Amino acid sequence: MKKSEFITIGLQYALQKKQIEDVICSVMDISSADFIRLEDIDADHLYEVQKAFYKLSNGEPEEYIYKKAEFWDNEFYVDERVLIPRNDTEVLVDETIKEISKNISTEATSYIDVGTGSGCIALSILRAIAPLKFAESYAVDSSADALKVAQKNTQKLELSGDIVLVEGDLLSEFSHSDKYPLSKNLCITANLPYIKDNDLENMAASVIEHEPDSALFGGKKTGFELYEEFIKQCFQLKNILKLENITVFIEIGFDQYEVSKKFLEELGLQFEYFPDSSNIQRVVKIYNF
């Protein structure tokens, strides 16, 4: 079929010309320059292109259709088993890299990414700190399906030998030091579910309909409940393994500054907030466990 005919079909789905071009390039694995020269859509790709047109017109995120997302200058494989990486989460990566770059060269440090999903946070950090190395690196998720996506990305970014994927609930798997050994200094990142249960008013329709609920909702009252459990586990892990230092970086919801601040103050922790691109306090560095 002629490319011009397919563009007409795409327009009938109410798609923009750039979306149509992106679909065809992605399905046929060609560049924008190749697209300009393209005259015909071969029979092998007709169905896949039309299926992508239909999904886009029904609000499915482009990242799930193309099976890829850009994050921190890296391209990650993503599908419906994991959340799509967000630009605001790059703040968490930036601040973590600043912290570990100051300390990792002088002190043996272990690293854990909790709720890893696609692995975008952990793998971005590991790529950025090379040639610096953690003593051990782990990426944890309670979803076996999410870890399969993370595994794809460790292979895609050639980091399979640099990180161990762990299926488990928050930090529970690390209470047994013989199974997943940790150094006395520990850096943790976490982007856990933090939306209040059924708080659909502040969510885009595409998120509600297509992204996994298990990666979105963090509790009935504030959405911060899962973080409260996680932070308590940090204390427990330090006591069980006799760790010297734990530094934690978390991402929170746009409306969770007050609830998080109150909780951290009550525990006597030290902390610092960092804003996202909209000047919302989005990332928290927590220490002095």
Topology (CATH) of 69-287: Rossmann fold (3.40.50)
**Distance of alpha carbon 220 from alpha carbon 157, whole angstroms:** 37
> Looking at residue 105, what is its pLDDT?
61
For 137-148, the pLDDT digits (tens) are: 999 999 999 999
> Looking at residue 201, what is its pLDDT?
75
> Looking at residue 106, what is its pLDDT?
63
Please give the model's pTM, rounded to 2 decimal places.
0.92
> Looking at residue 218, what is its pLDDT?
87
For 119-140, the pLDDT digits (tens) are: 999 999 999 987 678 999 999 9
> Looking at residue 104, what is its pLDDT?
64
DSSP string for residues in 155-174:
HHTT-GGG-EEEESSTTGGG
> Looking at residue 197, what is its pLDDT?
83
The segments of the chain whose pLDDT lies below 50 read none
> Looking at residue 24, what is its pLDDT?
92
Q: Write down the domain spans for the chain.
A: 3-58, 69-287
80: closest CA among 98, 110, 95, 60? 60
> Looking at residue 177, what is its pLDDT?
65
